[in-house]
């Protein structure tokens, strides 16, 4: 499932992150690539150990914790520390699938990459190209969101970033391990949660049917979650 997360970051947070990362030293983006991705990847990236990347990454992690939509959609168990990349001058990332296991450099921290996330950090009209194309059952979907917005999508999907022919595309990207590994089960829980939230507005939190449906949600989560 593809879930947009609007306004994950405020304009002030985007500006602060850009101040940090724009002044940092960027390197070849293949420092985190697997063998397949290295053949297709043409961009720049901040090293994982970069102080700017770590401070900016903490801001994004804080924002994730404040987002009920993200929590409901992802049901996160572990989140890989956010990384940062940029594309310019025709750079692109060809079709690839993210590695199943991501290990943080210099540590034993690892996540199973159930979901991938991109947080856009540049206004879409400031650069040409740079669309994130994610292939699914109904073909490729093109994603190019305002700065501060994010997209959540299965790490198992084929995806690519089209060439940036004008300006610079700046974004954060990372992976997370969900408490619910199966994408279809996670989607069912998300749809049920959204329906419960909508009905709660109409009927009130204490309505008997809301209580019953909430019980169904948690019993399904109990059945499917690996926490």
The answer to whether residues 109 and 198 belong to one domain is no
Q: Are residues 55 and 133 in the same domain?
A: yes
Q: Are residues 173 and 187 in the same domain?
A: no
Report the alpha-carbon distance of residue 155 to residue 174 in Å, rounded. Answer: 10
The reply to whether 85 and 152 lie within a common domain is: yes
* Nearest-angstrom CA–CA distance, 226 and 180: 6
218 is in an annotated binding site: no
Residues 153 and 72 in one domain: yes
Same domain, 104 and 215: no
Please give the structure tokens belonging to residue 91.
Answer: 């750079």
28 marked as part of a ligand binding site: no
Range of the domain at 31: 3-178
State whether 172 and 193 are in the same domain: no
Is 187 annotated as ligand-binding?
Answer: no
For the chain, give the longest Cα–Cα distance. 59
d(CA 43, CA 83): 13
Smallest CA-to-CA distance from 56 within 7, 27, 17, 8 is with 17
Judge if 192 and 109 occupy the same domain.
no
Number of domains in the chain: 2
Tell whether 151 and 201 lie within a shared domain: no
- Regarding whether 99 and 120 lie in a shared domain, the answer is yes
Whether residues 53 and 146 fall in one domain: yes
Q: Is 169 annotated as a binding residue?
A: yes
Shared domain check, 192 and 165: no
Token pair in block for residue 136: 């699914």
For every one of its 227 residues, what pLDDT tens digit does the chain have, with 9 covering 90 and above?
899 999 999 999 999 999 999 999 999 877 665 555 556 789 999 999 999 999 999 999 999 999 999 999 999 999 999 999 999 999 999 999 999 999 998 888 999 999 999 999 999 999 999 999 999 877 889 999 999 999 999 999 999 999 999 999 999 999 999 999 999 999 999 999 999 999 999 999 999 999 999 999 999 999 999 98
- CATH value at residue 218: 4.10.860
At 207 the three-state DSSP class reads: coil
* pTM, two decimal places: 0.93
Phi, psi of 53 (to 5 degrees): -65, -40
Phi first, then psi, for residue 205 (nearest 5°) are -60, -35
């Amino acid at each position: 499932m593809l879930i947009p997360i609007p306004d994950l970051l405020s304009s002030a947070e985007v500006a602060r992150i850009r101040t940090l990362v724009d002044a940092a030293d960027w390197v070849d983006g293949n420092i985190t690539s697997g063998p397949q991705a290295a053949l297709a990847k043409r961009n720049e990236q901040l090293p994982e150990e970069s102080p700017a990347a770590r401070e900016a990454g903490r801001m994004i992690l804080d924002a994730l914790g404040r987002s009920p939509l993200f929590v409901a959609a992802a049901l996160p168990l572990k989140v890989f520390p956010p990384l940062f990349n940029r594309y310019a001058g025709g750079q692109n990332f060809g079709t690839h699938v993210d590695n199943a296991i991501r290990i943080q450099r210099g540590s034993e921290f690892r996540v199973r990459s159930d979901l991938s996330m991109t947080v856009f950090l540049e206004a879409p009209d400031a650069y040409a190209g740079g669309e994130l194309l994610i292939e699914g059952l109904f073909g490729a979907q093109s994603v190019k969101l305002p700065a501060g917005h994010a997209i959540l999508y299965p790490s198992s999907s084929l995806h690519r970033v089209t060439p940036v022919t004008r300006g610079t595309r700046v974004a954060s990207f990372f992976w997370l391990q969900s408490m619910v590994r199966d994408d279809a089960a996670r989607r069912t829980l998300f749809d049920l949660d959204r329906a419960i939230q909508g009905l709660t507005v109409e009927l009130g939190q204490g309505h008997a049917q809301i209580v019953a449906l909430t019980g169904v949600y948690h019993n399904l989560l109990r059945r499917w979650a690996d926490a």
